[in-house]
Amino acid sequence: MFLSLRTEVEAALEGALSELEFPTDDLGIEEPPEDVESVLASSVAFRLASEAGAPPPQVAGQLADEIDADELTYVSEIQTQGPYLNFLPSDAYFAETLTAGTDESYGALEDREESVVVEHTSANPTGPVHVGRARNPIIGDAVANLLDIAGYDVDRHYYVNDAGRQMAVFTWAYETFDEDDLDGEPERDRIEYDLVRYYRKGNAYLENASEADREAAEAEIESIMQGLEAGDESAYERVSEVVDQVLSGMKGCLARLPAEFDEFVKETRFMRNGDTNDLVARLKELDEAVYEEDAWQLELEAHGIDKNLVFLRSDGTSLYATRDLAHHEWKFDNYDRAVTVLGEDHKLQARQLDTTLELLGNDTEGLQQVLYSYVNLPEGKMSTRRGTGVDLDDLLDEAIDRARQEVEDRLDDRIRDDDLDEDDIERIAHQVGIGAVRYDIVSKQPTKAITFEWEQALDFEAQSAPYVQYVHARCCGILEEAGLDPDTGLATQDIELESLEADLLATEAERDLLETIARFPAVVDEAADDLEPHQIATYTRTFADRFNAFYRECPVLADDVDPEVREARLALVAASKHTVANALSVLGVEPPRSM
RNA sequence: GGGCGCGUAGCUCAGUCCGGAAAGAGCGUCGGACUUCUAAUCCGACGGUCGUGGGUUCAAAUCCCAUCGCGCCCGCCA
C-alpha cells in the first residue's frame, strides 16, 4: 500500500506545484521521523522559498491548500508543520493493508517477466568451506531470495573452477600420494575433509621439494593443464574425479545453511564446447589486443584500467578470466540479468570482465556485482591450502549446540504449557542456531570488514535472529490459540475478511504496526533494486519492535476484548505473521512455529 | 607509490547512493515489569567533536576537496 500511496502523493504534489507554476523536478518526498504522525512528507517548500518570495512555511501552506485530500484514496489529510508537508494515511490505506497482509504471500511483488541468474559462492573445490568465505553463500542466497520475491525469475548458479592450476595441482597430488603420506586423520567424516589432505600435502611438497623433484611435479601439473586446454577427455576425467568428490562434500556443507543451487556450471564446459577458443580469436581482433612477451593481452588503459588483461598464456593455454568471459556471454544468451556475489579482492577482475565484455559487443547493463569483504580471524586470514581457519561446519555445529543449551535452560521457566518434546528442542536448536549465524552475516553491509569471534557470531540477544523469530512464534501462538492455521492466508479460513473493520484498530500501537506492515512491499522493492538484503534485516528489527509494542498494549484473545476488535486484531496478527515469515525467508532464516 | 572500500556511543551496527524535522538500535552498566495471547520479551536511566580540517548550501553523518587510520587490489594465480 505504501507504494500506491507514494505514487498518489507524487502525482498530487506535482499537480499542485505546476498549478502554482513552481518547478516539479524535485518533489522533496521523504519519510518523516518516527514521532511525526504522517507516513510520507515533503520538504519541497524549502527550495521554493526564494522563488516564491515567501518563507518556507507559507509556501508549504499554499501547497497544502492546493491539494484536495478528498480526491485522494490513501491520504486523509495534508498537514503542514513549519516548512514540511505531511501526508496522513486514510482509513482505506489501513483497511487495504490489513486485507493484503492476510494473504500468505504478502510482500511478494508482481512478476516482472525478467530472468536473472545469481552466481554465488563458486569457491574452488579444494576443501571444506571455511568461515572466511561463508559470507558468500549467505549473502548470495539472500540476494537470490530477494530477487525471487521481488518478481524476478531467478536461477542460482555455482561456477565451478575446475580448469585452473589449483585443480591440476590437486589432481596431481591425489594421484601421486598415498594415504600413508598424509598428515593426520580427516577432521570430519565427509569426503572433502578427507581429500583436502592431498591438496595440502601437494602444496607443501611443491614448497619444500628439491629443484629436480619440483620440476618433475610441475611437468605433470603442466601436462594436466595442457590436456584440459586441448579438450583431452582423459585429462578432464582425471580432474573430474577430484572435483566431483570434493564438490559433493562442499554441497553437503552448504545444504546445511541451506544454500541450494539450480546448476553447477563447470568452467571446463566452455573449453570443451569450443567457446573459449572462439573467444580468444575474437579477442585477438580487438584494437586493444597486443602480443607482448609471448602472451596475448588486452590494453585497457584507455578504459580506465591500467592493468593489462592477459587472455592467452605464452604456452597457449587460456586463463580463468578468458573462460569467465565465455561463461558470461553464455549467461547473457540465457538470462536478462546476471548478478555475481564476489569477494572484494575480485573487484578489479570484475571491472576487467565488464569492460572486455563490452568491447566484445555485449550490453553489460544487466551485469552487476555484489561485493563483500572477507571474514578474517583475529590472527589473520583463513586459507584452505594452509589449513588455517574455522570450518563452516564447526561454526554451525557450535551454533546449534549453544542454541540447544539455551532452549534447555529456558525449559523450566516456560509459562506456555505446550510440552516441547525432544524433536521440538532439536528443531528449535537448528532454526535458532543456524538462523543466528545467517542473520548476523546478512544483516550487515557486505562491504564492512568482519573479524570472526565466536562470542559475537553466536549472540542470541536482541538484534539477532531469535529476537525476530520469537515474534513469529508469538504470532503463531496467538493464531493457533484462536483455532486458525498460521501458515494459510485468512481468506480460506473461518473468518470474514469483508466485515473486517480496520478502524477498530485505533490505538497507536496498532496503527504503527499496520503502517510498518504497509511498508514491507516497498522495502522489498528497494532492497531488490539495490541488491541489498541487509535492508530486509533492518526492516525485520523495526517490525519486531512494533509488534512487541502491540503485543504489550493490545490483548487479542482476552475475555474482555470486544468480539469485533478481536477479529480485527487476529487479522492484524495474521498479517504480522506473514510479513515476518516472508521477510525472514528472504534472509534464509527459518520462522519457528514455537520456541 | 597508485586505485577502490571502510571509519557513527566503551563494543557491534542502522542511517550515507537520493542532503532536510533536536543523530537511531542492540550489547554492556544501573534501576524496574511474569496469578496475563510465550520474559529469547518489555519499560526507564546513563552514554555521540558522526576519524580530522576546509568548502558548497537556507540546511551536511550524507555532496566536494584535503588529510589521518585500517582493509583489499595492482600475477602469463584463481
pLDDT tens digits, residue range A321-375?
Answer: 999 999 999 999 999 999 999 999 999 999 999 999 999 999 999 999 999 998 8
The topology (CATH level 3) of A1-89 is Gyrase A; domain 2 (3.30.1360)
Nucleotide nearest to A467 (CA to C1'): B40
Q: How many CB atoms lie within 10 A of CB A241?
A: 13
Strand B close to A453 by CB, under 7 A: no
* pLDDT for residue A417: 66
Q: What share of chain A is helix, strand, coil (3-state, %, to 5)?
A: 55, 10, 35
Q: How far is the CA of A510 from the C1' of B12 (A)?
A: 31
Nucleotide nearest to A418 (CA to C1'): B38
Strand B close to A316 by CB, under 7 A: no
Q: How far apart are CA A249 and CA A254, in angstroms?
A: 9
**pLDDT level of residue A560 (50, 70, 90 thresholds):** confident
* pLDDT for residue A105: 96
Most confident option among A25-29, A463-467, A522-526:
A522-526
**Strands of A471-531, DSSP E:** none
Contact of A531 with A143, CB cutoff 8 Å: yes
pTM flag (> 0.90) = yes
Q: Whose CA is nearest the C1' atom of nucleotide B36?
A: A558
Q: How far apart are CA A54 and CA A49, in angstroms?
A: 5
Lookup result for grid cell 540447544: A404
Which residues in window 230-269 of A are less than 7 A from strand B by Cβ?
Answer: none
Within its chain, how far is the Cα of A2 from the centroid?
23
Domain boundaries, chain A: 1-89, 120-273, 392-587
**pLDDT level of residue A524 (50, 70, 90 thresholds):** very high
Question: Kind of pairing, strands A84-89 and A115-119?
Answer: unpaired
Contacts 24+ apart (CB under 8 A), A488-491: A488/A104, A489/A102, A489/A103, A489/A104, A489/A105, A489/A578, A490/A102, A490/A103, A490/A571, A490/A574, A491/A102, A491/A103
3-class SS of residue A268? coil
Whether omega before A592 lies within 30 degrees of 0, making that bond cis, reads no
> Nine-digit cell at A513?
504496526
3-class SS of residue A78? strand
Q: How far is the CA of A347 from the C1' of B4 (A)?
A: 8
Residue type, A346: H
Strand B close to A302 by CB, under 7 A: no
Burial class (CB in 10 A: 0-12, 13-18, 19+), A448: exposed
Residues 6 or more apart in contact with residue A185 via CB below 8 angstroms: none
Which residues in window 409-428 of A are less than 7 A from strand B by Cβ?
Answer: 410, 413-416, 428
The residue-averaged pLDDT of A6-34 equals 93
Q: Superfamily for A120-273?
A: HUPs (3.40.50.620)
List the alpha helices (DSSP H) in A373-504: 392-411, 422-442, 454-457, 465-481
Nucleotide nearest to A409 (CA to C1'): B40
Strand B close to A557 by CB, under 7 A: yes
No. of helices (H) and no. of strands (E), chain A: 20, 14
pLDDT tens digits, residue range A289-328?
Answer: 999 999 999 999 999 898 999 999 998 889 999 999 999 9
Strand B close to A124 by CB, under 7 A: yes
Strand B close to A444 by CB, under 7 A: yes
CA max distance for chain A: 89
Q: How far apart are CA A435 and CA A584, in angstroms?
A: 9
* C-alpha torsion sign, points A254, A257, A261, A265: negative
Q: Is the ipTM of this complex over 0.90?
A: yes
Q: How far is the CA of A300 from the C1' of B2 (A)?
A: 16
Q: How far is the CA of A543 from the C1' of B24 (A)?
A: 15
Q: Which phi and psi (to 5°) does residue A594 adopt?
A: -145, 155
Contact of A299 with A287, CB cutoff 8 Å: no
* pLDDT for residue A413: 72
Report chain A's mean pLDDT, rounded to a whole number. Answer: 93
Please report, for residues A161, A353, A355, A579, the alpha-carbon distance to residue A367 in angstroms, rounded to integers and kept in the order given: 20, 10, 11, 30
pLDDT tens digits, residue range A375-431?
Answer: 887 777 888 888 788 899 999 999 999 999 999 888 877 767 667 888 999 999 999
Strand B close to A197 by CB, under 7 A: no
Burial class (CB in 10 A: 0-12, 13-18, 19+), A310: middle
Q: How many CB atoms lie within 10 A of CB A417?
A: 5
Q: Whose CA is nearest the C1' atom of nucleotide B41?
A: A548
Nucleotides of chain B in contact with protein CB (under 7 A) are: 3-7, 12-15, 17-18, 20-21, 24-28, 34, 36-43, 58-59, 70-78
Query: Is A198's pLDDT higher than 70?
Result: yes
**What share of chain A has pLDDT > 90, as a percent?**
81
The topology (CATH level 3) of A392-587 is Isoleucyl-tRNA Synthetase; Domain 1 (1.10.730)
Strand B close to A594 by CB, under 7 A: yes
pLDDT tens digits, residue range A426-470?
Answer: 999 999 999 999 999 999 999 998 888 888 777 887 789 999 999
